[in-house]
Amino acid sequence: MDKLINILKIIVRVGIGLFFIVSAILKLLSIENFEIYIYSFNLLSFPLSGLAARCVIACELLAGVLLIIKVKYKWAWWLTLLMLVGFSFLLVYVILFRDDSNCHCMGDLVQMRPSLSLVKNLVTIALLLFVRKEEDYQFKGRKLALALSFVAAIVPPFALFPTDNVYNLFSRADDLDYNEAAFNGMMADSVMQDVHIDDGNYIVAVISSFCPHCKSGCMKMSEIVTHNQIDSSRVLLFVWGDSTSVKQFKTETKTEQFRSVQIDGITAINVNNGLFPKYLFLKDGSVVKTADNKQLTEKSICDHLK
């Protein structure tokens, strides 16, 4: 009987560790949307939200690895429990006061409603209590294994998927990366006759309704504009897509507040030099700056529009 219980404990412990590792990887694969979700609670600035998102992922990776290899097991066990309890309290708040269809606990690839995620956490806590009284494995190289665990937890979220601020230290943000002739030709088209952007500062997003990076970038911009109480009329979406896809895009990205104009694919590709999305910062009708998703920071938007 004791042998069976020990086998069950191994299965549960390794299963929880693997679950946390998979959860962290799934968050990492949709890190842009995860940091936008954290920012949507209006508790942190966007740079701090990005940092918080990566800290959560790093802690999940570290806890998962240490639970499996049983190095610093008590420390890993308490870290896992505290994360589960903290996430559960957050989920209760989301269930009571928000209407989120996805809590991002498993990233975007596995959509999970907050209520289901809460049940998942409670079950995991019960399983975690089952493997509470475990001792560290004693083997040579434990210190090396611990060091490598920290490296494995820190490098992916912070080095492979750097925050916007770190990315922009190495980007060529001063270059105007767009096709000026194509943009001027687009603005001269009759479709643009009711678009007035010749006086004052505006941001024009040239995007595709089918582009996932365009969706995450526009969600980010919408949250920043709302959070900082910026005049939404100063942001325009030039969207490649039909009326149905454009409407769906604006609903999914919560950008109904922004004016939008449908443009054809050839025009969008030419203006963007084939790279989507592209954000054009205009002053009195002239483009003074361009940005991609990483270069579209809270500071750059506020500095230009406030």
- Single-letter residue type at 76: A
Q: Residue 193: phi, psi to the nearest 5?
A: -65, -25
4-28 pLDDT, tens per residue?
A: 888 999 999 999 999 999 999 999 9
Report how far residue 14's alpha carbon sits from residue 239's, in angstroms, rounded to the nearest whole number.
47
Which of 144, 132, 6, 14 has its CA nearest to residue 68? Answer: 14
| Span 109-128, average pLDDT | 95
Q: Which of the four pLDDT bands, split at 50, 70 and 90, describes residue 192?
A: confident
Among candidate residues 252, 286, 256, 290, the one with its CA nearest the CA of residue 273: 290
Q: Which domains does the chain have, with CATH numbers?
A: 2-161 (no CATH), 170-305 (3.40.30.10)
- Global confidence as pTM: 0.90
Higher pLDDT, 14 or 169: 14
pLDDT at residue 175 is higher than 80: no
Assign residue 178 a region: left if phi > 0, alpha if psi is -120 to 50, beta otherwise? Answer: beta
Compute the average pLDDT of residues 265-293.
Answer: 94
